Amino acid sequence: MSFSFLSEMQIAVPAYQNGIERVQTINKIISINEAWKREAYDNIIELLIYMRNKNASDIDMGGPGCNDYIWFRIYGIKEPCKDFPRYPNDETTAMLLCILTEDQKRILFRQKNIDFSLSIKFKEGEKASRFRGDVYFECNKLVANFRRINDNLFHISELGFPDTIIKRLNLKYEKSGLYLITGITDSGKSTTLDSIVDMNNQSNKGHIVIIGNPIEYIHESHRCIIRHREVGDDVLSFNEGTYQALRQDPDIIVVGEMRDSSTMVTVLEVTDSGHKVFTTLHTSTAVESIHRIIAEFPPNEQDRVRMRLADTLKVIISQKLVPSKDGKLIMCKEILSVDASVQAAIRNQNIGEIYQMITEGKKTGMITMEQDLFQIYRAGKITQDVAVNYANNKTRINHLLNYST
């Protein structure tokens, strides 16, 4: 089944046009034909509703990679969906253009990519569903990925963190410091951050500034004022937003991601000034996270950064989503709770010793990824193969598994 206007649109678009030129022509045609625009919009809304109903985390469309199919990722598995027709590239282009603002289109045409948030009310009276969109080009064709943002937050107690760690994340018990949530893409970092924000929003009186690209979950202010500042729309960059937050009387600053050394410098300076800062890194372990931050700086600055990090770093939570026996995903994590011994290891360039400190740090809430995977395996939630495959330290997980049998 094709759009009712597909043949007319393809006649109006010169066959020799390709890439941005073709996309811009389709945009002009769609913009002046409200009925065509509405049909395209209704189709992509139908796809997003299906995505929500199936509890899919992601949807991909467009370009030769998708082979005209709509692809959904459900519980970690991405595959084409046969419940929908195949969409030729021009139809996909029309759908994607219908959900972009004019400013977003200008960015797309200039940069060949736009990363944005999307909020849609599917029915009157219900809460808007939110998505993170990334529209880009593949082989001169317009394509996209949309990630569904959970409608509901996880309570902090549902994430499996020890009480000692939950206290450290709470403004009531610690007023300042750097708190890192790390993991690869699709590891649930944003979900964890939102749960931490919600906990502080429900239990403290204060001001939380969130800087995101894009902003995903929108928190309602309860006991805290919560400001959401999206890079591109509200502020020019993570770096600028973090600096500006200092003049906005915050208690907590949430920086969506430390992408470069300039943002890392700013985050460390803000933390030095006595604020509680949460941010994320694309790293798999606590030790790797510390190495990554230090390595972002020139050699002549690394000693100074090491000292600042030892003074300000409080907690690192490194997490993964692994397949469970029931076909869903379950979070496993590594937790570093910084104490005097960890601070000394960072200052004295003995970062390699920190893994053993985590291994022995159960009393203070610490746990290695391998210990957590082993616990989840012993609870019957994952298979032994999954435990081994997702471990960072294969020798350690095999020792735990062999010692238990």
Q: What pLDDT was estimated at residue 205?
A: 94
Provide the token pair at 216: 């995903």
pTM of the model: 0.85
Number of neighbouring beta carbons within 10 Å of residue 372: 21
The answer to whether the CB of 181 falls within 8 A of the CB of 317 is yes
Q: What pLDDT was estimated at residue 318?
A: 97
Number of neighbouring beta carbons within 10 Å of residue 255: 26
| Model confidence pLDDT, tens digit, residues 100-120 | 999 999 999 999 999 998 988
Which mean pLDDT values do the consecutive 10-residue runs of the chain (405 residues) have? 83 91 94 92 94 94 95 93 92 95 94 91 83 95 93 91 97 96 91 96 95 89 95 88 91 91 88 93 95 93 93 97 93 97 96 96 96 96 96 94 76
Q: What pLDDT was estimated at residue 404?
A: 66
| Model confidence pLDDT, tens digit, residues 327-350 | 899 999 999 999 999 999 999 999
Provide the token pair at 52: 């929500």
Q: What pLDDT was estimated at residue 216?
A: 85
The answer to whether the CB of 269 falls within 8 A of the CB of 244 is no
Distance CA 277, CA 193 (A): 11
Domains in the chain with CATH codes:
11-149 (3.30.450.90), 156-367 (3.40.50.300)
Helix (H) or strand (E) holding 197, with range, is helix 189-203
Pairing label, strands 313-323, 177-182: parallel
Distance CA 153, CA 200 (A): 13
